[in-house]
Amino acid sequence: EGLSGLQGHLAGALVIQDNPALTSLNGLESITRFYFNNDGNALVISSNAALASLEGLSGLQGELPGALVIQDNPALTSFNGLESITRLERNADGNALVIKDNPALTSFNGLESI
């Protein structure tokens, strides 16, 4: 249950932020596309202290219509789950991809298709 009812296209950006106990994104596998927010970001994953995996986003396909921002997730170990994203667009700051302060990340595996 939980978020597993979300599926297909979302009408706005997907922002997962400030969830200190969140460990996974399981339940979001049926989301295939979303749009962007006022800052031009399509997907923001930020400040989730226990989040170790993005595999719940494995349903995403093709182009994100905004930037991908992944920051301040100290337990995140990989980008697995994002393999089917093929293109990003720039946000209001001119960035298409922002990855910072994720100290457990050891590679960019999972982002090869971008």
Mapped onto helix, strand or coil, the DSSP state of residue 3 is helix
Q: Give me the pLDDT at residue 7, please.
A: 77
Phi and psi at residue 28, to the nearest 5°: -105, 5
pLDDT tens, the chain, 114 aa long: 456 667 788 889 999 999 999 999 998 999 998 899 999 999 999 999 999 999 999 999 999 999 999 999 999 999 999 999 999 999 999 999 999 999 999 999 999 999
Of 103, 104, 111, 112, which is closest to residue 43 (Cα–Cα)?
A: 111
pTM: 0.93
Give strand ranges (E) for 29-76: 31-33, 41-46, 62-63, 67-71
Helix (H) or strand (E) holding 9: strand 8-9
